Amino acid sequence: MTDLDIARTVTLQPIAEVAARAGISGDALVPYGRDKAKVDLGWLAGQPPRGRLILVTAVNPTPAGEGKTTTSIGLADALNRTGRRAVLALREPSMGPVFGAKGGATGGGRAQVAPMIDINLHFTGDFHAITAAHNLLAALVDNHIHWGNALGIDPRRVTWRRVLAVNDRTLRDVVIGLGGAANGTPRESGFDITVASEVMACLCLASDLADLQARLGRIVVGETHDRRPVTAADLGAVGAMTVVLKDAMNPNLVQTLEGASAFVHGGPFANIAHGCNSVVATRAALALGDYAVTEAGFGADLGAEKFFDIKCRASGLVPSAAVIVATVRALKMNGGVAKADLARGDVAAVERGAVNLQRHIDNVRGFGVPVVVAVNHFATDTDAELEAVRAAAAARGVEAIVCRHWAEGGAGATALADAVAALADQPSAFAPLYPDDLPLFAKIETVATRLYHAARVDASASVRAQLARWEAAGHGRLPVCMAKTQVSFSTDPALLGAPEGHVVTVREVRLAAGAGFVVAICGDLMTMPGLPRVPAANGIGLDAAGDVVGLS
């Protein structure tokens, strides 16, 4: 059975019942049909956080699959099965990977959030609202230039690009304003994917609507001819953008296949953005559960680092424990085994690839957060391979627990739930990687050398000068958001395992003053992904009965 087939075997509970069981007032619920709803932000603001925060992260992703979202869901279900009150807080899937390489992102097997089709596609329209608000600001920039340019914006220094919710490599670099004076001022621009939008980051890091509006106002869209920054507030864009985003700011409530409460809200990618669901959804989970289970995108070198250094720094959230998801298959790929050969047992390859897991363990523990490893079980795993993973984790003083939540739901992850609860119930020693007052380039170097084990960071004189200008303008205390390939600790996707001594090249830096961080784009990473040779979209459609098929 496919994930979609399995999801269809479960009769979902009415969302009002899920909300009531979680302690959400009926007056605070804004239903979107029978099985999904938004929860009023004003009501949530009156609910103080009481739970412990669990972060689920992973080894570097491989084509073999790791199952971070699946494990997050299985862990929450297991915590509830063992008599603990747990609530999920996850990111919304983007239609980019849904129609691109992944085909879906709502978990798998018996560990899924539902309604699976709705969540993977339009859901409650949050991504459409973010796309619209972002492009509204872009239109207002060009409209201001067209009607006299009272602010003196230099068209060559407009940095605010447009966004699209799906992958389209042909729009990475475009020329706009062609066709004569009536169509505006010609200039070079381009498109990023919506999940890379600073508007997405603003929404995900904002504590309420007032904070969102303030963040939107600080967005820098470009510079004047004399190099003064121009903001969204200068253009009078903030009110209209906030109106477009008003409903999107309320977090979305859904359920797991076992009926656990799940907030699915916001969706920045971790390789090109900060990779975490919204602060308001995480706080909602902390208010309604004894344990809040959340995840950060891709491997711990990206998602977990940004969760700790950006999201926790901005919000005051304190993680109590972390789960690092690994699979035998992923470690074998890190050990040099081709995807076609993964079904064959190879303990030596697991041992070679386990250096990737060990590096992530060391990095997460370096933030003062206790760790447990969840080994997401596949049918092809051998006992000897699983023992090799346990031994690799034990060498770092960490327990590795084999989990079967994909096949068994929460019942397959109860040992993980017990281990996580034991860690989370201890006092937290969490601290970010670097202090606020460290210079921006030094922050980049700290992440690259301490977490990626790079020998050095290279950047052009123009990149260094831009960072210095931002520091002089008062942005020096912002954290950095590293944008790089997700499959390696380096900027080279071919360097698997745990490479050392490599060079991280910062190609470009972007100021996200509204979100509250500086993006360092490293290596060849693109902020508008392309589709693979055979996109998942080719297999998605409707069957003869009008039902969706092809999502996974």
Handedness of CA 532, 95, 403, 334 (dihedral sign): positive
Quote the CA–CA distance of 29 and 40 in Å, as a whole number: 6
Catalytic residue chosen out of the listed positions 57, 62, 69, 70: 70
Task: Decide if 102 is catalytic.
Answer: yes
Catalytic residue chosen out of the listed positions 269, 307, 406, 470: 406
115 preceded by a cis bond (ω within 30 of 0): yes
Contact indicator for 143, 236 with CB cutoff of 8 Å: no
Quote the CA–CA distance of 527 and 484 in Å, as a whole number: 10
Q: How many CB atoms lie within 10 A of CB 149?
A: 14
Contact indicator for 301, 451 with CB cutoff of 8 Å: yes
548 sits in which H/E element: strand 548-549
162 sits in which H/E element: strand 162-164
Task: Decide if 430 is catalytic.
Answer: no
User: At 201, is the secondary structure helix, strand, or coil?
Assistant: helix
254 sits in which H/E element: strand 252-256
Task: Decide if 91 is catalytic.
Answer: yes
Catalytic residue chosen out of the listed positions 129, 270, 287, 515: 270
Residue 9: CB partners within 8 Å, gap ≥ 6?
A: 1
Distances in Å between the Cα of 383 and the Cα atoms of 166, 237, 240, 388 are 41, 59, 59, 9
Q: At residue 188, what are phi and psi to the nearest 5 degrees?
A: -80, 140
Task: Decide if 378 is catalytic.
Answer: yes
Quote the CA–CA distance of 292 and 84 in Å, as a whole number: 11
Catalytic residue chosen out of the listed positions 36, 38, 52, 68: 68
Task: Decide if 36 is catalytic.
Answer: no
Residue 214: CB partners within 8 Å, gap ≥ 6?
A: none
Task: Decide if 246 is catalytic.
Answer: no
Quote the CA–CA distance of 23 and 349 in Å, as a whole number: 48
Quote the CA–CA distance of 91 and 95 in Å, as a whole number: 13
Quote the CA–CA distance of 23 and 17 in Å, as a whole number: 10
Length of the chain: 552
| Cα angle: 116, vertex 117, 120; to 5 degrees | 85
Catalytic residue chosen out of the listed positions 36, 52, 84, 91: 91
Catalytic residue chosen out of the listed positions 378, 441, 470, 517: 378
Q: Which DSSP category does 540 fall into?
A: -
27 burial type by CB count under 10 A (0-12 exposed, 13-18 middle, 19+ buried): exposed
Contact indicator for 273, 196 with CB cutoff of 8 Å: yes
Quote the CA–CA distance of 434 and 443 in Å, as a whole number: 7
DSSP notation for 57-98: EESPP-TT---HHHHHHHHHHHHHHTT--EEEEEPPPPHHHH
Task: Decide if 306 is catalytic.
Answer: no
Catalytic residue chosen out of the listed positions 8, 21, 85, 102: 102
Catalytic residue chosen out of the listed positions 298, 307, 441, 489: 298
Quote the CA–CA distance of 311 and 298 in Å, as a whole number: 16
Q: How many CB atoms lie within 10 A of CB 67?
A: 25
Quote the CA–CA distance of 374 and 368 in Å, as a whole number: 19
Which residues are known catalytic residues? Answer: 68, 70, 91, 102, 270, 298, 378, 406
